[in-house]
């Protein structure tokens, strides 16, 4: 960025080299003013290394004007004459905030001295709450909590908490907070009484597409395709990302409208034309798939998945972008894509990219930039789908994706595209793990304890394993493991390797992080046979991606915890007869 300051100093040799290099990279940006003896921006100046970001500049301008940051800490060199309507600041006691944060982190309840605005409670009273989240409505910070007085989940304004008292055991679980857990799709549009030109400028102002602005969220159902989970999420308004023709049929069978389903698959289904006829959308992941779609559904709109040339994942096995990934059409094959579309009369209306399940927002930002560059060559594209892969920290030491940090540069990229190209793109994302990873647990029992001597290991054997949770064996994935004594008693801790019930050396639940070949003992309560043991954060890619029926173990039952605290059986335990029911004995063996 070229800036002007009334400073005089001598240039170090490295600075001179940097200026020379800058002039080589951006030859028309900087001119040397001999009389002023300094470089100035030319009339043709265009940013070369940074992209203009009006939102970023105006946000910084507001922060300085409000006194949130000092001008000396800002990169704004010449502060324009600015006046703003100050947002009233809420007086939040730091000790109150610190104590409430501690209660949220530790799932504890806390006594608060709270001033309600209810006519029934004109004076502040002490009440016990179990806080679990924070919310901001644009003006005020709330804490979302279970109220032990009214037996309900409520919002409590932080400034109205006048004092805090003792902590205690937690109350209602956040999963029981139906209003907090449910997500709604909000659509905004210009006021109907405005003129056409007024509506158009409002749509431009708010980044609306077709008079409205919507982010479509698709649940990646491969993470957990349980009928009950599908119904919960689709009733909340989510669309579906299906990974096979069979998943499409499964979703439709559970009440998902076909028009809400996008099929992105490695294996093209034999009934593709029939599925498209039902109303689903197809995302071609290879040139041969695009040809197959053109033959089966000529003249139809289609989505195309491109491999942008980079990826992100917590391991190579979860990286689905870049030259080592087979997912999507390589970005340099764009001309072949266009030729195939023309040959079959296809209209490419959506561009899809997905880079993996890492947590690096900078990679996503680069990917979105590459995607926008590709969209410029596809004039009929109205929707961009950036896939999912939002990292969820299952262990306390693991980072989760900061959606705000990841999303802001992508939103800015879409706005820049709209300003420059005059085309507003609709955005879709496809989270799976993000919704369900920490919403499920495997509840098992200790079936044995063994050791390999003083120089070896102590093992806990459990009645689960890769038949229900294969992620540790595949990826070296980490899951919290909690051992609970079957009878309440104090026991010492001990280091164990936790292993599954399969006759398979790889059935290990405590591998080294990211290394399924390595072993990393866990410190657990000393184990005894029949003790319950919980493998937590098992809601995604566990029951759905297991070594089902290995060693002829039947499929485990599944139980759903409803928001009212009741339990419901959503999958029965499989019987041996059901395991064997599709086997047939040829006549010569009878």
**Is the pLDDT score of 171 beyond 80?**
yes
Q: Answer yes or no: CATH 3.20.20.10 is held by domain 214-437.
A: yes
**Is the pLDDT score of 484 beyond 90?**
yes
**Is the pLDDT score of 287 beyond 90?**
yes
Residue 87 confidence (pLDDT): 64
Residue 10 confidence (pLDDT): 52
Q: What is the mean pLDDT of residues 309-316?
A: 52
The two beta strands, 125-136 and 152-157, are unpaired
**Is the pLDDT score of 301 beyond 90?**
yes
Structurally, at CATH architecture level, domain 440-545 sits in Beta Barrel (2.40)
Q: Tell how many helices (H) and how many strands (E) occur in the chain.
A: 15, 26
Q: Is 224 a catalytic residue?
A: no
**Is the pLDDT score of 380 beyond 50?**
yes
More confident residue, 48 or 590: 590
Q: What is the mean pLDDT of residues 359-367?
A: 68
Percentage of the chain surpassing pLDDT 70? 88
More confident residue, 224 or 419: 224
Q: What is the mean pLDDT of residues 428-432?
A: 92
Residue 436's pLDDT band, with cuts at 50, 70 and 90, is: very high
Per annotation, catalytic residue among 297, 367, 502, 503: 503
**Is the pLDDT score of 466 beyond 70?**
yes
Q: What is the pLDDT of residues 493-502, one digit of tens each?
A: 999 999 999 9
**Is the pLDDT score of 180 beyond 90?**
no
Residue 6's pLDDT band, with cuts at 50, 70 and 90, is: very low
- DSSP string covering 90-102: P---HHHHHHHHH
Max mean pLDDT range (22-26, 90-94, 133-137, 545-549) = 545-549
Q: How far is CA 508 from CA 443, 466, 477, 512, 562, in A?
A: 16, 8, 10, 10, 31
- Average pLDDT for the chain: 86
Q: What is the mean pLDDT of residues 303-317?
A: 67
Q: What is the pLDDT of residues 558-574, one digit of tens each?
A: 999 998 889 999 999 99
Lowest mean pLDDT among 45-59, 397-411, 422-436, 506-520: 45-59
539 close to 555: Cβ distance less than 8 angstroms: no
Map tokens 């179990």 to a residue: 130
Q: How far is CA 212 from CA 104, 199, 249, 272, 427, in A?
A: 37, 10, 31, 31, 12
Residue 213 confidence (pLDDT): 53
Q: What is the mean pLDDT of residues 141-148?
A: 93
Residue 461 confidence (pLDDT): 98
Dihedral of the alpha carbons of 568, 571, 575, 580, in degrees to the nearest 10: 170
Percentage of the chain surpassing pLDDT 90? 56
Measured distance CA(335)–CA(181) in Å, rounded:
45
Residue 318 confidence (pLDDT): 41
**Is the pLDDT score of 314 beyond 50?**
no
Crossing angle of the two packed helices 287-296 and 334-344, in degrees rounded to 10? 10
**Is the pLDDT score of 129 beyond 60?**
yes
Q: What is the pLDDT of residues 74-127, one digit of tens each?
A: 777 777 888 777 666 678 888 999 999 999 988 899 999 999 887 778 889 999
Q: What is the mean pLDDT of residues 230-254?
A: 95
**Is the pLDDT score of 175 beyond 90?**
no
E strands, 357-476, are 383-385, 426-429, 442-451, 458-462
158 close to 141: Cβ distance less than 8 angstroms: yes
Predicted TM-score (pTM) of the model is 0.66
């Amino acid at each position: 960025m070229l800036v002007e300051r009334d400073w005089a100093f001598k240039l170090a040799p490295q600075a001179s080299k940097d200026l020379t290099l800058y002039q080589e990279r951006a030859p028309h940006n900087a001119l040397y003013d001999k009389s002023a003896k300094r470089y100035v921006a030319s009339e043709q100046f265009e940013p070369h290394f940074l992209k203009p970001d009006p939102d970023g500049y105006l946000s910084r301008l507001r922060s300085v004007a409000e006194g949130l940051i000092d001008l000396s800490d800002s990169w704004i060199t010449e502060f324009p004459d600015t006046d703003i309507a100050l947002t009233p600041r809420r007086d939040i006691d730091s000790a109150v905030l610190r104590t409430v944060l501690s209660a949220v982190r530790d799932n504890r309840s806390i006594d608060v001295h709270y001033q309600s605005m209810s006519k029934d409670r004109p004076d502040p009273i002490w009440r016990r709450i179990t806080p679990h989240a924070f919310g901001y409505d644009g003006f005020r910070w709330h804490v979302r909590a279970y109220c032990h007085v009214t037996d309900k989940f409520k919002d409590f304004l932080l400034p109205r908490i006048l004092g805090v008292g003792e902590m205690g055991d937690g109350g209602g679980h956040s999963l029981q907070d139906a209003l907090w857990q449910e997500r709604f799709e909000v659509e905004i549009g210009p006021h109907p009484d405005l003129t056409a030109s007024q509506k158009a400028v409002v749509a431009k102002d708010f980044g609306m597409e077709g008079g409205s602005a919507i982010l479509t969220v698709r649940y990646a159902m491969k993470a957990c395709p349980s009928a009950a989970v599908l119904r919960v999420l689709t009733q909340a308004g989510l669309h579906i990302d299906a990974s096979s023709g069979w998943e499409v049929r499964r979703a439709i069978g559970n009440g998902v409208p076909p028009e809400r389903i996008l099929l992105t698959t490695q294996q093209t289904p034999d009934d593709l034309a029939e599925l498209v006829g039902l109303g689903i959308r197809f995302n071609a992941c290879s040139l041969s798939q695009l040809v197959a779609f053109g033959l089966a559904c000529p003249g139809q709109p289609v989505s195309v998945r491109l491999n942008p040339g980079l990826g992100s994942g917590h391991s190579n096995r979860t990286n689905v972008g870049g030259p080592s990934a087979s997912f999507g059409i390589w970005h340099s094959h764009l001309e072949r894509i266009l030729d195939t579309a023309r040959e079959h009369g296809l209209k490419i209306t959506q561009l899809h990219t997905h880079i993996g399940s890492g947590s690096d927002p900078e990679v996503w930002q680069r990917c979105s930039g590459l995607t926008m560059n590709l969209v410029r060559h596809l004039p009929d594209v109205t929707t961009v789908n950036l896939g999912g892969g939002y990292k969820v920290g299952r262990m306390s030491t693991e980072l989760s994706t900061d959606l705000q940090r990841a999303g802001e540069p992508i939103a800015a990229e879409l706005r820049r595209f709209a300003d420059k190209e005059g085309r507003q793109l609709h955005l879709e994302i496809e989270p799976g793990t993000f919704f369900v990873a920490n919403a499920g647990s495997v509840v098992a029992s200790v079936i044995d304890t063994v050791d390999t001597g003083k120089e070896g290991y102590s093992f806990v054997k459990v009645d689960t394993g890769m038949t229900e949770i294969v992620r540790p064996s595949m990826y070296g994935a980490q899951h919290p493991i909690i051992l609970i004594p079957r009878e309440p008693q104090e026991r010492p801790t001990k280091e164990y390797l936790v292993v599954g019930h399969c006759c398979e050396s790889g059935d290990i639940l405590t591998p080294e992080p990211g290394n399924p070949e390595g072993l990393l003992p866990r410190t657990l309560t000393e184990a005894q046979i029949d003790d319950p043991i919980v493998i937590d954060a098992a809601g995604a890619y566990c029951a759905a991606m297991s070594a089902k029926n290995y060693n002829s173990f039947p499929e485990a039952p599944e139980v759903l915890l409803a928001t009212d605290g009741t339990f419901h059986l959503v999958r029965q335990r499989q019987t041996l007869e059901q395991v064997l029911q599709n086997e047939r004995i040829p006549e010569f063996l009878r």
